[in-house]
């Protein structure tokens, strides 16, 4: 996104993801953003709890999301 929060459709960045909690990333990491969006596949474990997913790139601000597994 740009400084106004607008998705930049021609943005191309390699985004590295890290997962903390009872889950794992499936497939390639880092992921190439397409149309400003990087999508991951996540395999949740069999225990409930909170997951923290962090996306990083040296040129972009780091972002972390929380997902509750039930």
Which secondary-structure segment (H or E) carries 31?
strand 31-32
- d(CA 16, CA 70) in angstroms, rounded, equals 26
Any residues with CB less than 8 A from the CB of 51 and at least 6 apart, and which? 19, 20, 21, 22, 23, 42, 44, 66, 67, 68, 69
Question: pLDDT tens-digit profile of 23-37?
Answer: 999 999 999 988 778
Pairing of strands 14-20, 31-32: antiparallel
- d(CA 12, CA 60) in angstroms, rounded, equals 11
Q: Could you tell me the pTM of the whole model?
A: 0.81
Of residues 37 and 55, which shows the higher confidence score?
A: 55
């Amino acid at each position: 996104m740009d400084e106004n929060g607008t998705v930049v459709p021609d943005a191309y960045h390699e985004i590295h993801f890290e997962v903390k909690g009872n889950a794992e990333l499936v497939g390639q990491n880092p992921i190439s953003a397409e149309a400003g969006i990087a999508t991951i596949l996540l395999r949740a474990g069999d225990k409930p709890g909170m997951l923290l997913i962090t996306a990083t790139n040296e040129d972009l601000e780091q972002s972390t999301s929380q997902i509750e597994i039930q």
